[in-house]
Amino acid sequence: MERHYYSVELGDVPRWLIETPTRDSGEAFDEPWMFADGRVLPDLGPLAARIAHPGTRRSFDLSVIEAAPIVNEAIADVFRTLASGDVQLFPVTVEGAPERYFVVNVTKVVDAIDEARCQEVHHYDEDDPSPDYPGEYNWIYGLRIDPLRTDGAQVFRLKKFKTAFIVSEDVKNALEAVGNLGVSFERVTEAPDLH
C-alpha cells in the first residue's frame, strides 16, 4: 500500500500570530531560520516567543516570519511518539500562554522531490542575488514527492527545498485528532488512480 505524505501549511483559520522564537532574554539568534534548516541543533537554552498579533490560540502554528513550528504539549507528544528520530523539541515560553509550548526542529532531510510531477518549479537563477542556494528550488507550486524515497521518515524537510515541512499520513491523522490546529495539510503524494 502506498504511503501518503502532506505538507504542513498555514491554516486559513482565525489564529494568533507568533513571532520567531528568540533567546529568553529577547536576543534574536544569528540564524533565525535555523528551525527550518533540517539540522540537529545544540541546546539553545531557554527560548521565548512574543505574540505579533493576538488571536485564537492554536495547538500547532507556524511563526510569522521564519515559519518555525510551535506546538503545545499534546502536539509535542504526537511528535515524541511517532517521529522521535526525526525531530528535536525545544521548550519555548509563549507570551501570555500559561501552558507549555515547544519549537519543533525537524532534523531529517530527504531527497524525495518528484520534479516531473510538480505543477511548477522555480530554481534559483545563476545571476540571482542569493548565491547561497546553488541548485536549490526558489519555489515549487503543486509540490509532489516520491514516497519510495522517504527512507521511512515520519517527518522531514526536503533536500533543496527545506521550507517544506512534510509529515506522514499517520502523523497528520494524530495531529488532527488533537485538533485546534493553526495549520492545514496539503497532500504531496499522488492521488490514487480511480480509473
Q: Say which residue the cell 515547544 belongs to.
A: 102
Interval 115-135: pLDDT, tens: 999 999 888 765 555 556 567
Which pLDDT belongs to residue 127? 59
Low-confidence spans in the chain with pLDDT less than 50? 192-195
- Report CA 152 to chain centroid distance, whole Å: 17
For residues 51 and 144, what is the distance between their CA atoms, to the nearest angstrom? Answer: 33
State the DSSP H helix or E strand holding residue 141, giving kind and residue range, or none if neither: strand 137-141
**pLDDT given at position 51:** 96
**Residues 185/5, Cβ–Cβ less than 8 Å:** no
Cell (9 digits) for 182: 493553526
The continuous run of DSSP H or E covering 167 comes out as strand 161-168
Q: Give CA–CA dist 160/151, Å, rounded.
A: 17
List the beta bridge partners of residue 89: 104
Instruction: Give the pLDDT confidence of 23-45 residue by residue, as tens digits.
Output: 999 899 999 899 999 999 999 99
User: In the numeric block, which cell numbers belong to residue 190?
Assistant: 499522488
Residue 37 class from Cβ within 10 Å (0-12 exposed, 13-18 middle, 19+ buried)? middle
Residue 3 is predicted with a pLDDT of: 85
